[in-house]
Amino acid sequence: MSLLSRPARTALVAGTAGLALVAAGCGSSEPSAPAAGGGTSAACAPFEKFGKHDGKKVSVYSSIRDTEADLFQQTWMPFEKCTGMKITYEGAGEFEAQIQVRSDGGNPPDLAFFPQPGLLQRFVAAGRLKPAPAEVKRLAEQNWSPDWAKYGTVDGTFYAAPLGASVKSFVWYSPGMFKEKGWAVPKTWDELMTLTDTIAGTGVKPWCAGIESGEATGWPATDWIEDVLLRELGPEGYDDWVAHKIPFNAPEVVAAVDKVGAILKNERFVNGGYGPVKSIAGTAFQEGGVPITEGRCALHRQASFYANFWPEGTTVAEDGDVFAFYLPGNDPAEKPVLGAGEFVGAFTDRPEVQAVQAYLATGDHANARMKLGTYVSANKGVDIANAQNPIDRLSIEMLHDPDTVFRFDGSDLMPAAVGAGTFWKGMTDWINGKDTTTVLDFIEASWPAS
């Protein structure tokens, strides 16, 4: 799933210092206390280009909830005050299902943060979304690479600018545990498996995992498969698989799933702190890596945004309580990156709605959000100095590096019935005991004929 992107990304830690920035003004370009009703103060100067929309309301719907949602709302408070509008926000753990229900019922939000381009495309095909205005398209072309901009484009028409981003190719671990045990960060998949076996020999379960996520249960397992396929097939082969030029039940896909299964379906290697293999399906993804902080697990594969989910007081740093290393492949010289993100799609095209779309596509918005807490964006306008932890900084460096081979989360690009449906369900069934061939045949049979 996508940045933040996966449903129910519940942030457990709210940065007190970051929240203080709201009261302090979030920097010279992000006013926090303009005059009531907008006013004409210098604090509102950066927002004049978005116009005045006194008394207008814009609704936003997303999978982003809890503390992370609060930080978004605090980020755009100055924008609301200076433009005179009110942005009403709602986050839902079952976003993928409920956005369809709301749209079908004639009650869509003005804006939605789509974590899957495939889901976005479905709403475009149904005629539900409005093309992005020229200013939003200009900002997207200015602030993101063509690869990112294309994910919001359907049949040559631009609909949605990117918002946040995540890097998924990370394995979280405890630097202190590694130092104490004399373990080294692996540089290849073979080294990773050797380390896994070594850790298992100490009596500690090497890996902990959780794939429960409400109606989206299963997505963390699909991320595993995508990351391995990106390494096994290479970027072009990965693209062919996402486009269904390589069937889901092709031998190379079977091999990749079994390669992941050598970890996730091995009772000797999982599920540290929770139980046997099947416990993975019932463990909330937000809790999946927590046993690392308790010494009951050593490794947890999850995206950069997992920095939000460690227990309060956990230090994320190379010499801290937890950190992350790149999930290695067969060749240490090749380091493709799997990632995800949200895209801001509009169901209405009123002037105030278009103004919010434009603001969300600016570097100013991304920087203001970064100052408040953990957040990653591929927006070229972000100042990396605003990153709140080393994983965010590393992620942004990777996303902005022109030499990085980046590929978007495959399930998010596929037709929604597969990527946000049978793929998630199939991987859950796989964890619960179904064999690889049966599961992949099931997913393959579900691919839309047209």
Rg of the chain in Å (alpha carbons): 22
Q: Do 299 and 343 reside in the same domain of the chain?
A: no
Kind and range of the H or E run holding 358 = helix 351-360
Mean pLDDT computed over 226-243: 97
Q: State whether 214 and 98 are in the same domain.
A: no
Beta partners for residue 90, in sequence order: 61
Coil vs helix vs strand at 289: coil
Per-chain mean pLDDT for the chain: 90
Upper half-sphere CA count for residue 90 (Cβ side, 13 Å): 14
CATH number at residue 327: 3.40.190.10
What number is the average pLDDT over the span 350-361? 98
pLDDT over 80 (residue 24): no
pLDDT of residue 4: 40
Residue 41 covered by a domain: yes
Please state, in angstroms and rounded to a whole number, the distance separating the CA atoms of residues 132 and 346.
Answer: 8
Q: Do 24 and 73 belong to one domain? A: yes
Structure token digits, residue 52? 């005045």
What is the 8-class DSSP label of residue 132?
P
Calculate mean pLDDT across residues 68-95.
Answer: 94
Above pLDDT 90, what percent of the chain?
82
- The pLDDT value given to residue 35: 45
Confidence of residue 93 (pLDDT cuts 50, 70, 90): confident
Question: Does residue 23 carry a pLDDT above 90?
Answer: no
Q: What's the confidence (pLDDT) of residue 40?
A: 59
pLDDT of residue 29: 37
Distance of CA 129 to the CA centre of its chain: 22
**pLDDT (tens digit per residue) in 166-206:** 999 999 999 999 999 999 999 999 999 999 999 999 999 99
> Do 308 and 194 belong together in one domain?
yes
Given this model, what pLDDT does residue 387 score?
Answer: 94
Q: Which of 320, 306, 308 is nearest to 18 (CA)?
A: 308
**Same domain, yes or no, for 87 and 216?**
no
Contact 414, 401 (CB under 8 A): no
Q: Which domain holds residue 30?
A: 16-167+338-408
Q: Which residue has the tokens 């990370």?
A: 170
Kindly indicate the confidence band of residue 149, based on its pLDDT and cuts at 50, 70 and 90: confident
Looking at the structure of the chain, the number of domains it has is 2
Is residue 334 within 8 A of residue 348, CB to CB? The reply is no
Do 320 and 368 lie in one domain? The reply is no
